[in-house]
């Protein structure tokens, strides 16, 4: 099976991007998929969220500037089928050196190319900074597709419009002609608020089937899991956060392989309830995907 590289991207912080990267990776690994999570955020939250220390020299930095192979930085985690290339603060300096190279937009793609060619992993997930800097643009050019987590609040809609525009520009410029949005994940959903329901409805109206039907709720156990260095399914396997990310993973795989869909109940009950709920007449301003 060929390796698929997926970027988990949003230039806005606090939308559940790293939480989604960690827990989607863990849930895929739970389903016997071989997963490599690459932490390309100098804050290294995905690294600590999987229980690894932030060690100087452990990041992809040397591979990005052609000094060492990326495979030298792969580490095992405590979780079966899940490996990681960790990050640390020095990675922030990579952007300066990358900018001096001719292929400055393809440093991540070239660094990971031997791992992709080897076919050792089913999925490589790339977690990046909440910016549109050099590392994030490299993630976008290295990815076959991207998952966009967005918080169920108004400002997140503006970020979604920006990301859609950047992805379109990369595709049209030829920097990554095949990139597309794999899906949009609605995170930090609170069904008690009209705003959250309205944001979901507006995003679905404009982006249609790009939106995953699974909604990721606000959940204390999900929020505290990184402090224990564990994905939520290993912190509290039955909490609503675990249920949600397992459901998201199942939906993600079903979209990719509809013929392998199982016979468990259909997804999207929460999403359908939102559309059955009367919403305020004033629409939110969302720039549609194209």
pLDDT digits (tens, 9 = 90+) for 254-290: 998 886 655 444 445 555 554 455 544 444 444 444 4
- Domain-embedded: residue 289: no
Structure tokens at 126: 């790339």
Residue 44 in domain: yes
The SS3 of residue 151 is strand
Q: Is residue 20 part of a domain?
A: yes
In angstroms, the CA 61 to CA 171 distance is 26
- Provide the terminal-to-terminal Cα distance of the chain, rounded to the nearest Å: 30
Q: Which domain holds residue 151?
A: 4-276
CB 56 within 8 A of CB 83: no
Residue 166 has pLDDT above 80, yes or no: yes
Alpha carbons 249 and 19: distance in angstroms, whole number: 13
**Helix, strand, coil share of the chain (percent; to 5):** 45, 15, 35
What is the spatial distance between Cα 134 and Cα 78, in angstroms, rounded to a whole number?
A: 31
Q: Which residue has the higher pLDDT, 278 or 251?
A: 251
Looking at the chain, how many residues does it have?
A: 290
Coil, helix or strand at residue 82: strand
φ/ψ (deg, to 5) at 101: -90, 160
pLDDT at 257: 83
Separation of alpha carbons 98 and 91, rounded Å: 11
pLDDT given for residue 272 in this prediction = 52
Asked if residue 290 belongs to a domain, the reply is no
pLDDT of residue 268: 52
With tokens 């404009």, the residue in question is 206
Q: What does pTM read for this prediction?
A: 0.89
pLDDT digits 0-9 by tens, 125-159: 999 999 899 999 999 999 999 999 999 988 878 88
Q: Give the C-alpha separation, 170 to 167, whole Å.
A: 5
Per the CB < 8 A criterion, the answer to whether 21 and 43 are in contact is: no
For 182, residues 6+ apart whose C-beta sits below 8 A from its C-beta are 6, 145, 146, 147, 252
State the Cα–Cα distance between residues 115 and 234, nearest whole angstrom. Answer: 27
Does residue 72 belong to any structural domain of this protein?
Answer: yes
Residue whose structure tokens are 């060619």: 117
Report the distance separating Cα 66 and Cα 63, nearest Å: 5
282 assigned to some structural domain = no
Domain count, the chain: 1
Query: What does DSSP say about strands 145-151 and 181-189: parallel, antiparallel, or unpaired?
Result: parallel
Residue 126 lies in a domain: yes
Q: Say if 283 falls within a structural domain.
A: no
Backbone φ, ψ for residue 287 (5° rounding):
-85, 125
Predicted local distance difference test score (pLDDT) of residue 214: 96
What's the CATH number where 100 sits? 3.40.50.300
Up-side HSE of residue 117: CA atoms within 13 Å toward CB? Answer: 8
């Amino acid at each position: 099976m060929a390796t698929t590289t997926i970027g988990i991207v949003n230039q806005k912080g606090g939308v559940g991007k790293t939480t989604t990267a960690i827990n989607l990776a863990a849930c895929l690994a739970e389903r016997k998929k071989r997963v490599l999570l690459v932490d390309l955020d100098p804050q290294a939250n995905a690294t600590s969220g999987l229980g690894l220390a932030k060690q100087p020299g452990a990041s992809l930095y040397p591979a990005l500037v052609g000094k060492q192979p990326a495979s030298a930085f792969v580490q095992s985690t405590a979780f079966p089928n899940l490996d990681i290339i960790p990050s640390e603060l020095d990675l922030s300096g990579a952007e300066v050196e990358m900018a001096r190279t001719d292929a400055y937009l393809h440093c991540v793609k070239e660094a990971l190319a031997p791992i992709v060619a080897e076919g050792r992993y089913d999925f490589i997930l790339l977690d990046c900074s909440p910016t549109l800097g050099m590392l994030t643009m490299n993630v976008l050019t290295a990815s076959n597709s991207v998952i966009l987590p967005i918080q169920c609040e108004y400002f997140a809609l503006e970020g979604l419009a920006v990301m859609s525009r950047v992805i379109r520009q990369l595709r049209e410029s030829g920097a990554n002609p095949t990139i597309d949005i794999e899906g949009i994940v609605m995170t930090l959903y609170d069904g008690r608020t009209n705003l959250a329901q309205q944001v979901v409805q507006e995003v679905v109206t404009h982006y249609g089937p790009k939106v995953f039907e699974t909604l990721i709720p606000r959940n204390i156990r999900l929020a505290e899991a990184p402090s224990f260095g564990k994905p939520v399914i290993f912190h509290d396997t039955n909490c609503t956060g675990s249920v949600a990310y397992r459901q998201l993973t199942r939906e993600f795989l079903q979209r990719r392989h509809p013929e392998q869909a199982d016979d468990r109940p259909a997804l999207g009950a929460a999403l359908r309830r939102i559309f059955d709920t009367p919403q305020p007449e004033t629409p939110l301003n969302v720039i549609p995907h194209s």
